[in-house]
Amino acid sequence: MKFAIVTDSTSDMNKELREKYNVDYVAMNYVLDGKEYPASLDWESHSPKELYDLMRAGKRISTTQVPRESFYEKFSSYLKEGLDVIYISCSSALSGSYNLSTVVAKELKEEYPNNTVYCVDSLISSLGQATLVIMADNMRNEGKDAKETAEYLIANRLKINQFGTCDSLEYLSRAGRIKASKAFFGNLFGVKPIILSDIIGQNFAYKKTKGALNSKIAIADDIAGAVINPEDQILYISHADAITSAEQLKELILERAQFKGVHIDYIAPIVGSCVGPGTIIAFCYGKEVTIKGE
């Protein structure tokens, strides 16, 4: 292994994916009823149904960034082995984890001068962030070093396209995770926002549809319009306890673009607490994102 790859709780990478691509992660935390829980990608504190049902029942869940000591311990464990590290973070527009990681990396450079922690701001989250992580592993397997890989990820991160929708903008608005006014949608019954990750890594509700089916059709059209060489890549779909909607979205997308394969999984606790139950999001590698939220 030429270098270690580390991500965080917002990557939504389950154990199978992490083992397949030899990836480690640092956990953020979520707070429920005054108690703090590690945001495990293996759902060790609450199952997906438990967590999303609590949100449906009106429970408020807040989140924290990666603790400093977690960065220090995780990065140090690899630097001690003589390895460089690439940390691929949640978008810095959504979390303070990236900025904190750069501080810790600079401190550790003095302690381990022969190795480096390269911090990459993914400008996205969920399985879009995971797509960059997987790209890093592919480059590692091709013999690329950490510096070259990190530079490539930074140069190509805006080619990861995200299109999704949620049942309500309430969760994103409450968490300060969206760049659009709720008034834009008028809170009309049945209006569904279509949300992308813009050029600064901020979620932006850039258009609206009427009804759940039309929102899925819009996402499928957007993915088909953005993707490059779908036959060579995996379509990633994440969902907040909405597997039926995710499967419907998959079929609509595959009618428009023939991907090599499809991976569907839960949105993990950190992203899930911000987007709310019922959310579905699709990700692909394609045309560079050029939209900036108003």
Mean pLDDT of each 10-residue bin along the chain, 294 residues long: 94 98 98 97 97 94 96 98 98 96 98 98 98 98 98 98 87 59 52 92 90 96 98 98 98 98 98 93 98 87
Give the Cα separation of 186 and 221 in Å (integer): 24
Q: Give the Cα-Cα-Cα angle 273, 85, 108 (nearest 5 degrees).
A: 95
Q: Are 28 and 65 in contact (CB under 8 A)?
A: yes
Which pLDDT score, from 0 to 100, does residue 174 have? 64
State residue 186's pLDDT score: 45
CA–CA dist 97, 135 (Å, integer): 21
Quick one: CA dihedral 13, 14, 17, 18, positive or negative?
positive
**What is residue 238's DSSP assignment?**
E
Q: Helical H runs in 66-145? A: 68-79, 97-111, 126-141
Within 8 A by CB and 6+ apart from 269, the residues are 9, 30, 37, 39, 40, 43, 45, 46, 51, 61, 63
Whether 168 and 277 have beta carbons less than 8 Å apart is answered as: no
pLDDT of residue 170: 72
**87 near 44, Cβ under 8 Å?**
no
71, 26 in Cβ contact below 8 A? Answer: yes
